[in-house]
Amino acid sequence: MGASNRNTRIAVGLSAFSFLLFFIAFVSPYWLVTDGTLRAPRFTNLGLWEVCFNNFTDIHRFYDTVFTGCMWVFEEEYYIIHDFLLPGFYIAVQFFATLCFVMCLITLPLTLAFLRTSRDDDRYVVLLLTKGSCQILGSLFGFIAVVIFGAKGDSRDWMPGWQTNDMGWAFAFAVVGAVMLLPAGILYIVEARRERYKRLNEISNRDVSEYGGQEEVYQQQAQQYFAPESSRPRRPQPGQRAAPATIEPSAPGPSGGIQTDI
């Protein structure tokens, strides 16, 4: 199992929790809501992809169409108010929030592969680095999205009744989800570095031990090669006579004579 220590278990938990929060925020139409102080607000709530109006008409009075209910922001009926409904900052929020959500989706199969991969597998470090990088990028994209929306979402030149408009709970979920992706990604990167250094140390120790064993073998071979040879008679050089062999008397025979070996 990949999540075999405390760091990886915390990282997996943070990843799952942050993905759940950001997914709820991504599909919920409660990033901007009215606080309910107005009796008949023309704007009620808005998300990244859906907006709800109540007897809303074009603020420029170019058209007399009345919008009531909740619809997709790119709905064809909204084309006459696209210049008002889809300002540049709102498109930027949608773009960066979508990038964050895509990064979260990419990490899902990586998490499953990570949980099924052993620490001894060669892909273990690669999975950690890839998953950590995706989550850090996702956190960066999500943070940009929530900062832009927090700065411009309740401004007076966008939705009507700006005095009574507040950030909704879905926006809070997006903030927490985007921020929590960062420590999860950092934990994956830290664990990948630890595992890589551990493997490098194991390889270096194994090489040293193998080198030490070979050095002992080399020393034994050198001792055998340079060991002094046993003394043996030398051959006479050409032109020199061999030294006469000394004749040693043998033991006297039974007859009392002296026997020599020639």
The two structure tokens encoding residue 74: 């790119």
Q: Give the residue from 70, 44, 31 showing the smallest Cα distance to 175.
A: 31
| Per-residue model confidence (pLDDT) at position 63 | 73
Residue 160 and residue 41: Cα distance in Å, rounded? Answer: 8
**Amino acid letter, residue 204:** S
| Per-residue model confidence (pLDDT) at position 159 | 86
Q: Give the residue from 143, 144, 130, 127 showing the smallest Cα distance to 181.
A: 143
| Per-residue model confidence (pLDDT) at position 136 | 94
Residue 154 and residue 145: Cα distance in Å, rounded? Answer: 14
| Per-residue model confidence (pLDDT) at position 100 | 95
Q: Give the residue from 36, 17, 47, 44 showing the smallest Cα distance to 170.
A: 47
pLDDT, tens digit, for every residue of 97-125? 999 999 999 998 888 887 887 777 777 88
Whether 147 and 167 have beta carbons less than 8 Å apart is answered as no
Low-confidence residues in the chain, pLDDT < 70: 1-4, 61, 199-262
Residue 259 and residue 13: Cα distance in Å, rounded? Answer: 106
Name the one residue in this structure whose structure tokens are 């927090």: 150
Residue 53 and residue 123: Cα distance in Å, rounded? Answer: 51
Backbone φ and ψ for 46, nearest 5 degrees, come out as -155, 145
| Per-residue model confidence (pLDDT) at position 262 | 44
| Per-residue model confidence (pLDDT) at position 111 | 86
| Per-residue model confidence (pLDDT) at position 220 | 64
For the 6-208 domain, the top CATH level (class) is: mainly alpha
End-to-end CA distance of the chain: 89
**Amino acid letter, residue 187:** L
Domain edges within the chain: 6-208
Residue 101 and residue 34: Cα distance in Å, rounded? Answer: 26
| Per-residue model confidence (pLDDT) at position 89 | 93
Confidence (pTM)? 0.72
